[in-house]
Structure 1
Amino acid sequence: MMVVRAGFFHLTLFSVCFLLSYTDESEKKSQVMSEADALLGLKASFNNSADSLATWSNTSIPCDGKVPWIGIICVNGVVRGLRLRRMNLSGKIDIDALADLPYLRTVSFTDNFFTGNIPNFKKLRHLKAIYISNNHFEGFIPDKFFDGMTHLKKFWIPGNAFSGTIPSSINKMDAIMELRLENNRFSGKIPNVGEKLLRLKSFNVSHNQLVGYIPERFVHFGLSAFAGNQGLCGKPMQFSHYCSHSHDHLLHSHEDMNLIEEEEHDEHFGSIKVGVLAFLLTVLFAMLFLLLIRKNDNPSDKVNDGFTYIGRNHMTPRRNMYRAESASVHSTMSENEQSAIATRMTSFGKGALVVLNEEKGRFALSDLMKADAQSLGNGTFSSSFKAVIPNTGISVVVKCIKEMNRLDSLDFRTEMKKLAGIVGHPNVHAPIAFHYRDDEKLVVYEYVEKGSLLYNLHGDNRRTNRAALDWPTRLRIVKGITHGLQHLHEKFPESKVPHGNFKSGNILLTQNFTPLIVDYGYIPFFSPFRVKTSFLAYKTPEYIKNNVVSPKSDVYCLGIVVLELLTGNFPSQYINSGKGGIDVVHWTRNALNDKKEDEILDHRLVENLGSVEMKGIYRLLRLAVKLVRRDPDKRPSLTEVVKRIDAISDDVGASSRRRK
Structure 2
Amino acid sequence: MTGLSGRALPLLLVTLVFLHSVSAQTLRDDEQHLSAFLKNVLPDYSSMLNLSRPTCQWERLSCIGLGAQQRIYRLYLGGMQLNGSIPYGTLGALSALTVLDLSNNSLCGEIPYDIFTLSNLMYLGLSNNRFTGNLPWGVSNLYQLMKLDLAANLLSGSLPSSLGDLWSLKFLDLHDNNFTGPMPAFSRTKFLRYLDLSSNRISGSVPLETFKNPQMLVLNLSRNLLTGNFPSGLNWLSNIRNVDFSENLFDGGIPDLSNLEQLRLFSVHSNRLNGSFPYNVTRLPYLKSLSVANNKLTGPLPPLPWGSSSGQIQVLDCRNNSLSGIIPEGLLASSNLTIVRLGNNAFTGSIPTNLTDQLEELDLHSNNFTGQMPWALSRLELLRKVDLSSNQLNGSIQWGVTEIRSLQYLSLAENPFKEGPLPDFSQMVNLVHLNLSSCNLNGSIPDSVGELRSLVKLDMSHNHLTGIIPSNLSKTTNLTSLDLSYNNLTGSIPQELVVLTHLSSLNVSFNNLSGEIPHANQWTTFYDSSFLGNPLLCGAVVKRVCPLLFPPPPSLPSSLAPAPAPIIQPPVHRPASKQLTISAIVGIALGVSLAFIAALGTFILFHQKKYRRAPLKEANYLNNPVAFESNPTAWAAQIPQPASIPVIMFEKPLLNLTFADLLHATNKFHKDAQLAEGRYGPTFKGVLPGGFQIVVKVLYDGGPGNELEKAAQLEALGKIRHPNLVSLVGYCLVAGERLLVYEFMENGDVFHCLHDSSEETHHPDHWTQETWEDAHEKFIVSEELSWPIRHRIAVGVARALAFLHHGCSPTVNHRDVTSSNIMLDSQYEPHLAGCGLAGLVEFGTRHQTSLMGGSFGYVPPEYGQTRNATPRGDVYSFGVVLLELVTGKRPTGHYFHDSYGGDLVGWVRSLIKEKRGYKCLDPKLLATGVESEMLETLRIGYLCTAEVPTKRPTMQQVVGLLKDIHVEITYM
TM-score of the aligned structures, taking structure 1 as reference length: 0.52
Instruction: Say which of 500, 525, 540 aligns to 2:860.
Output: 540
Does 2:530 align with 1:530? no
**1:475 aligns to what?**
791
Deviates more, 1:597-606 or 1:520-529: 520-529
Shift of 1:512: 1.4
Change over 3 Å in CA distance of 1:595–1:180 after alignment to 2: closer
Look up the match of 2:658: 364
Q: Offset at 1:549?
A: 3.4
- The alignment status of 1:648 with 2:965, answered yes or no, reads yes
Please, which of 675, 679, 684 is the counterpart of residue 380 of structure 1? 679
Residue 142 of structure 2: aligned partner = none
Q: Identify the residue that residue 910 of structure 2 maps to in structure 1.
A: 590
Helix, strand or coil: the match of 2:728? coil
Which whole-Å CA distance do the structure 2 matches of 1:615 and 1:546 have between them? 37
CA apart distance, 1:339:
7.8
Structure 1 residues 347 and 583: CA distance shift in structure 2, 3 A: farther
SS of residue in 1 equivalent to 2:849: helix
Q: CA deviation at 1:609?
A: 2.2
Q: Deviations over 1:188-241 (max 9, x none)?
A: x725x6xxx8xx4436997254799x58x649x5995269xxxxxxxxxxxxxx
Structure 2 residue 711 is matched with structure 1 residue 413:
yes
Task: Report the CA distance shift for 1:190/1:393 in structure 2 as closer, same or farther (over 3 A).
Answer: same
Correspondence for 1:433 among 730, 736, 745: 730
DSSP 3-state at the match of 1:570: coil
Is contact 1:452-1:504 (8 Å) kept?
yes
C-alpha separation between the residues in 2 aligned to 1:511 and 1:362?
A: 26
Query: Is 1:452 aligned with 2:746?
Result: no
Equivalent position of 1:85 in the other structure:
none
- The correspondence of residues 324-363 of structure 1 with structure 2, limited to 5 A, is 340=634, 343-344=637-638, 351-358=645-652, 361-363=655-657
1:514 aligned to 2:857?
A: no
The separation in 1 between residues aligned to 2:806 and 2:935, in whole angstroms, is: 29
Q: Distance in 2 between matches of 1:150 and 1:648?
A: 53
SS for the counterpart of 2:928 is coil
1:202 maps to amino acid: E
Of 954, 964, 968, the match for 1:637: 954
The answer for the alignment partner of 1:327 in structure 2 is: none
Q: Report the AA paired with residue 629 of structure 2.
A: K
1:515 to partner: Cα distance: 0.2
- 1:642: Cα distance to partner? 1.2
Query: Offset of 1:485 from its aligned partner?
Result: 1.3
The 3 A distance-change label for structure 1 pair 351 and 592 is same
**Structure 1 residues 450-505: Cα deviation after superposition (integer angstroms, max 9, x where no partner):** 1111111114589x98442111111111111111111122343434x521111111
User: Structure 1 residues 151 and 223 mapped into 2: Cα distance closer, same or farther (>3 Å)?
Assistant: closer
How many angstroms apart in 2 are the aligned matches of 1:115 and 1:555? Answer: 32
Matches of 1:154 and 1:97 in 2, distance apart?
12
- The CA deviation string for residues 418-442 of structure 1, in whole angstroms up to 9 with x for no partner, is 221123x321111111223575321
More contact order relative to length (CA 8 Å, sep ≥ 6) = 1
CA distance in 1, matches of 2:476, 2:634: 35
SS of 1:543's equivalent in the other structure is helix
What TM-score results when the alignment is normalised by the length of structure 2? 0.37
* Contact kept? 2:486, 2:510, Cα under 8 Å: yes
Which amino acid in structure 1 is aligned with residue 691 of structure 2?
G
Distance 2:957 2:684 in 1: 38
- Matched residue type, 2:786: D
Indicate the residue corresponding to 2:806 in structure 1: 490
Give the Cα separation in 1 of the matches to 2:806 and 2:824: 23
- Specify whether residues 380 and 354 from structure 1 end up closer, same or farther in structure 2 by C-alpha distance, changes over 3 A only: same
Aligned-pair Cα RMSD in Å: 5.0
SS state of the match for residue 385, structure 1? Answer: strand
Structure 1: any 5+ residue segments left out of the alignment? 1-90, 100-113, 228-291, 297-336
**Per the alignment, in what secondary structure is the counterpart of residue 572 of structure 1?**
coil
C-alpha distance in 1, partners of 2:446/2:510?
25
2: CA distance, partners of 1:638 / 1:140 = 46
**Aligned position for 2:507:** 186
Offset from partner CA, 1:228-271 (integer Å, 9 cap, x none) = xxxxxxxxxxxxxxxxxxxxxxxxxxxxxxxxxxxxxxxxxxxx
Following superposition, the deviation at residue 115 of structure 1 comes to 6.4
Cα deviation code 1:495-531 (max 9, x no counterpart) = 4x52111111111001111001111122321236613
Q: Does 1:503 align with 2:802?
A: no
Partner SS state of residue 429, structure 1: coil
Partner Cα separation in structure 1 for residue 432 and residue 657 of structure 2: 51
Instruction: Please name the residue that 2:690 is paired with.
Output: 392
Paired with 2:723 and 2:873, the residues of 1 have a C-alpha distance of 23
- Rg (Cα) greater in structure: 2
Measured against aligned partners, the alpha-carbon deviations of 1:125-165 in whole angstroms (never above 9, x if no partner) come to 9x9xx9x9xx9654224734434x59999999999632363
- Kept after mapping to 2: 8 A contact 1:137/1:162: yes
* Matching residue's letter, 1:540: P
* C-alpha contact 1:453 1:507 (8 A) present in aligned 2: yes
Letter in 1 for 2:833: V
C-alpha change, 1:398 and 1:176, in structure 2 (3 Å) is closer
2:481 is the alignment partner of 1:161: yes
Equivalent residues, number:
414
The amino acid that maps onto 1:442 is: L
Assess, with a 3 A threshold, how the Cα gap between structure 1 residues 183 and 412 changes in structure 2: closer, same or farther: farther
- Identify which of 735, 739, 754 aligns with 1:442: 739
Residue number in structure 2 paired with 1:109 = none
- Which whole-Å CA distance do the structure 2 matches of 1:226 and 1:500 have between them? 24
1:581 Cα deviation after fit: 12
| Distance in 2, Cα, partners of 1:647 & 1:561 | 19
CA contact (8 A) 1:571 1:582 kept: no
Amino acid at match of 2:747: K
Measured after TM superposition, the shift of residue 568 of structure 1 is 0.3
Evaluate the alpha carbon distance shift between residue 504 and residue 177 of structure 1 in structure 2; reply closer, same or farther with a 3 A threshold. Answer: closer
Letter in 2 for 1:353: V
The percentage of counterpart residues that share the same residue type is: 21
Between Structure 1 and Structure 2, the one with more helix by share is: 1
The 2-side partners of 1:637 and 1:150 are apart by 44
Distance 1:154 1:590 in 2: 30
Letter in 1 for 2:707: S
| Letter paired with 2:942 | V
Q: Is the 8 A contact 2:686 2:693 kept in 1?
A: yes
Counterpart mapping for 1:595-610 below 5 A = 595-606=915-926, 608-610=927-929
Which residue matches 1:295? 629
* Pair 1:619 & 2:936 matched: yes
Counterpart position of 1:402 = 700
CA distance in 2, matches of 1:470, 1:518: 22
Residues 360-388 of structure 1: CA deviation (Å, up to 9, x unaligned): 94421110112235231222122111111
Q: Which residue of 1 aligns with 2:879?
A: 559
Question: What SS does the aligned partner of 1:653 have?
Answer: coil
Q: Does the 8 Å CA contact 1:560/1:585 hold for their aligned counterparts?
A: yes
| Distance change in 2, residues 1:380/1:116 (3 Å) | farther
